[in-house]
Structure 1
Amino acid sequence: MSIAKEIVGFAIKAGSSDIHLEEGSPIAIRVNSDITILDQILRPSDMDRLLHEIVGEEKIAAFKQTHDLDTSIGLEGLSRIRINAYVANEKRCLTLRILPDNLPKWETLGLPQPFIDLTAKHRGLVLCTGPTGSGKSTTLAAFINCILETQKRHILTIEDPIEFRFQHSKTSIIHQREVKRDTQSFASALKAALREDPDVIYIGEMRDLETIQLAITAAETGHLVLGTLHTSSAAKTVERIVDVFPAEQQEQARLQVSTSLLGILSQTLCKNTTGKRSLAYELLINTPAIGNLIRERKISQIYSQLQTGSKEGMNTLEQCLIDLVKNGKISQQEAISKASNPKMILNADS
């Protein structure tokens, strides 16, 4: 039997999201946010077989040169996996992220309706943020899937690597480009994208100034632009975007963000009371009041707008966590560990 299918198949049955492999060490898997170390040792010869199966000779040669590799593949009959190969303490290591075999549906993920309503917009910037492993890619995959099913659009994705595989629907078409395979960089693909007649552009990660500038320009010129950032709140996301610009361009950047931004979903995953994970999120919908705060450098006041913006569907992370605790879905301790302001969770009882 294929060693890749044996390892990944076992991990899927165990409900794992990630597999950690190091030659000469026990296999480890992540289940519901926690690492579990197994008895089975991965021998160097096993690592040779595994790399040959899932990476192939050409990429193995590149990995030997750089000691880093990012890619993804589909394992027939199991699932797609995202692969990161690296070297630590002179040993070859692999992290495998198990991607759901079926495209995620927004209804089953617990995503808020006001966020999904943004799928009907024809221009602007929609961002999904959060720490690594918080489900950002899954959320935006569900968002894209909703567009494919309900709109008549051309969707273009730029990813490194491609995670979820989409198909054209009866009403929309989609083209997925992988950095280093189909295009040189996010920036070069974004420049080309404006000549490829897309309605929706998904950027796997907004990593640098050029990519962020091009994303904002695309949002301003009549495209719905989706992207991810590693930020922990809506306010910090706005700060990160503006701060990436040189000082003399930040005033202009604030103006552009205040008009092009549609919404920010900042999310995290919590261990719930059933042994699985629940989504907790902060949602910003860009209203005229929030646009003014961005233009006037009053980012710190965004939080209070989220607290009182329930009519537009907005909420803070703490409000969402408190609701999850009240509904018995997560423990108070878990809510405190995920909150940006733990005192609010404690004070909710008083």
Structure 2
Amino acid sequence: MEGKEASTELNMAAEKGGANVNVAELSIENLGWFRDVLVYAKERSATDIIVVEKRPVRLGILKKCEVMEVGHGVLVKPGRAEILAAIAETRQRKFDGETDIDAGTAIIKHIRKGYFEYAFSVKDIGRFRVSVSSSQEGLGFAARVLPYTIPGLEELDPFNMLAGIRGLFDFSYSYPRGLILHTGVVGSGKTTLIASELDHLAERMNGAVYTLEDPIEYVYQNKRTVFRQYEIGTHIPGILEGVRMALRNNLAGLVVGEVRTREEITALFTAAEKGFLVISSIHTPDAMTTLRLLDGYGDDRDAWRKKMAQCLTAIVSQKLIHKEYTVNGSKKTGYILVPEVLFFPATIKAGVERGAYNEVESAFRGNAIKNAVTFEMSLSVLEQKGVIDSYLKMELLDRVDQGKI
């Protein structure tokens, strides 16, 4: 199957699923032992739930793992059968050929091929992203706790360090174009920031935005923007097929949850080159590392650098610190976004096209790019606001340089 015939079948398959996604909310009463875990995790404001068979359930709280106790000295230690039951009950999709009778067998068989991920929602509790795997210690999964609603940009960035990014989305006439790439380590909040940007954009952009995700984490509401959300493996075979399908449709923007391969990164630039807004993420520690990494993906170095210069709009890197802070007279305790944002005006595009990355970095670090923000500048803002002192600022800068946050 190839050419126009392949395109038609792929579009028909996508139309069956990826529209405005209707994510069913599970009833917590049907979740057995896992019910107590989810309720407790919500009460403790946990960010992660770690489950391994015959071992105490642990909760990620404030970047630490705590053993969960449902009563004094009473630990939750699920066995394999209990873990399989929780996975089978919370999944929103089945594997090919799977029946209700052999759900446990199908899950084990699939895990032997590696791991798999999915997301689910529980009424009045929240939404969770789950990664299931098997290790020497046994069967288990890690569940990331997601905000039940999409936080606004003002909530994520109370100190206005992302003013340049907000400016891109607060357009009056033409909406932003080109590639906005989010970078950071696992758990640094990339998905949540992208969701906040899209929710902000939805009130302003007339057009369709296609998302390719694995799994679907946030569910977007149609406002002025119409969203079509596709889950890899359910609605679309893979990212490359999803990008090809999207580009054959009338869209204004394309969002790809995360790219890992050379082919996927190249596909992002192909979409951006056609004049669309493209937003995606990649696991790299900072903006300049990302830029130099991208430089190595092209076969024809000169042509690739020209495409990079043409397509790149911004690289947004981010880290999180947990602190007590005051905003508008109110004391809060929580995660604070520490962003780094590299924009690409004409002078920087010229440097990228020449491969002059040392010059680009000098301009970036030297505050010569309008609205650009380095990690050091973000930490200086937090110091000025009284969130951190000079000693903590220096400690955090050292940890940033060493890649420890």
TM-score, normalised relative to structure 2: 0.79
SS at match of 2:76: strand
From the superposition, tell whether residues 172 and 210 of structure 1 become closer, same or farther in structure 2 (CA, over 3 Å): same
From the superposition, tell whether residues 43 and 57 of structure 1 become closer, same or farther in structure 2 (CA, over 3 Å): farther
What is the letter of the counterpart of residue 162 of structure 2? P
Cα distance between partner residues in 1 of 2:203 and 2:235: 26
SS at match of 1:19: strand
Which residue in the other structure is 2:5 paired with? Answer: none
From the superposition, tell whether residues 58 and 211 of structure 1 become closer, same or farther in structure 2 (CA, over 3 Å): same
Cα distance between partner residues in 2 of 1:133 and 1:56: 23
2:358 aligned residue (297, 300, 304): 300
For the Cα contact (< 8 Å) 1:82–1:96, is it kept in 2? yes
SS at match of 2:271: helix
Residue 145 (1) aligns with residue 199 (2): yes
Which residue in the other structure is 1:226 paired with? Answer: 279
Q: Which moved more, 1:177-186 or 1:315-324?
A: 315-324
SS at match of 1:101: coil
Which residue in the other structure is 2:58 paired with? Answer: 28
Shift of 1:321: 1.7
What is the letter of the counterpart of residue 235 of structure 1? M
Q: Which moved more, 1:208-217 or 1:308-317?
A: 308-317
Cα distance between partner residues in 1 of 2:336 and 2:300: 40
Q: Which moved more, 1:42-51 or 1:14-23?
A: 42-51
1:96 aligned residue (129, 137, 143): 143
Q: Which moved more, 1:27-36 or 1:157-166?
A: 27-36
Residue 188 (1) aligns with residue 241 (2): yes
For the Cα contact (< 8 Å) 1:128–1:227, is it kept in 2? yes
SS at match of 1:42: coil
Shift of 1:42: 2.1
Shift of 1:183: 0.3
1:134 aligned residue (188, 201, 217): 188
Matches within 5 A, 1:274-313: 275-309=333-367, 312-313=370-371
Count of residues in Structure 1 that have an aligned counterpart in Structure 2: 339
Which residue in the other structure is 2:317 paired with? Answer: 266
Which residue in the other structure is 1:76 paired with? Answer: 123
Which residue in the other structure is 1:323 paired with? Answer: 381
Shift of 1:332: 3.3
Shift of 1:12: 1.6
Shift of 1:236: 1.2
Residue 123 (1) aligns with residue 177 (2): yes
Shift of 1:14: 0.7
Matches within 5 A, 1:53-64: 53-55=89-91, 58-59=94-95, 60=103, 61-64=105-108
Cα distance between partner residues in 1 of 2:401 and 2:347: 23
Cα distance between partner residues in 2 of 1:230 and 1:57: 27
Which residue in the other structure is 1:213 paired with? Answer: 266
Shift of 1:56: 7.0
Cα distance between partner residues in 1 of 2:49 and 2:384: 33
Q: Which moved more, 1:298-307 or 1:90-99?
A: 298-307
From the superposition, tell whether residues 269 and 338 of structure 1 become closer, same or farther in structure 2 (CA, over 3 Å): farther
SS at match of 1:235: helix
The superposition leaves residues 88-129 of structure 1 with CA deviations (integer Å, 9 ceiling, x where unpaired) of 115111100111111121111006121122234342111111
SS at match of 1:82: strand
From the superposition, tell whether residues 149 and 56 of structure 1 become closer, same or farther in structure 2 (CA, over 3 Å): closer
2:300 aligned residue (238, 249, 252): 249
Q: Which has the larger radius of gyration?
A: 2
From the superposition, tell whether residues 173 and 256 of structure 1 become closer, same or farther in structure 2 (CA, over 3 Å): same
What is the letter of the counterpart of residue 70 of structure 1? E
Cα distance between partner residues in 2 of 1:219 and 1:273: 40
Which residue in the other structure is 2:86 paired with? Answer: 50
What is the letter of the counterpart of residue 43 of structure 2? K
Q: Which moved more, 1:56-65 or 1:173-182?
A: 56-65
Which residue in the other structure is 1:107 paired with? Answer: 154
Shift of 1:47: 1.6
SS at match of 1:85: strand
1:197 aligned residue (232, 242, 250): 250
Q: Which moved more, 1:29-38 or 1:173-182?
A: 29-38
For the Cα contact (< 8 Å) 2:309–2:350, is it kept in 1? yes
**Structure 2: 5+ residue stretches without partners:** 1-28, 70-74, 96-102, 326-332
What is the letter of the counterpart of residue 204 of structure 1? G
Cα distance between partner residues in 2 of 1:123 and 1:26: 48
What is the letter of the counterpart of residue 235 of structure 2? D
SS at match of 1:180: coil
Which residue in the other structure is 1:65 paired with? Answer: 109
Which residue in the other structure is 1:335 paired with? Answer: 396
From the superposition, tell whether residues 311 and 244 of structure 1 become closer, same or farther in structure 2 (CA, over 3 Å): closer
What is the letter of the counterpart of residue 98 of structure 1? V
Cα distance between partner residues in 2 of 1:28 and 1:270: 21
The superposition leaves residues 221-265 of structure 1 with CA deviations (integer Å, 9 ceiling, x where unpaired) of 1100001011111111112222133xx423211111111111111
From the superposition, tell whether residues 311 and 235 of structure 1 become closer, same or farther in structure 2 (CA, over 3 Å): closer
What is the letter of the counterpart of residue 364 of structure 2? L
Q: Which moved more, 1:13-22 or 1:1-10?
A: 1-10
Residue 163 (1) aligns with residue 217 (2): yes
Alignment RMSD, CA only? 2.1
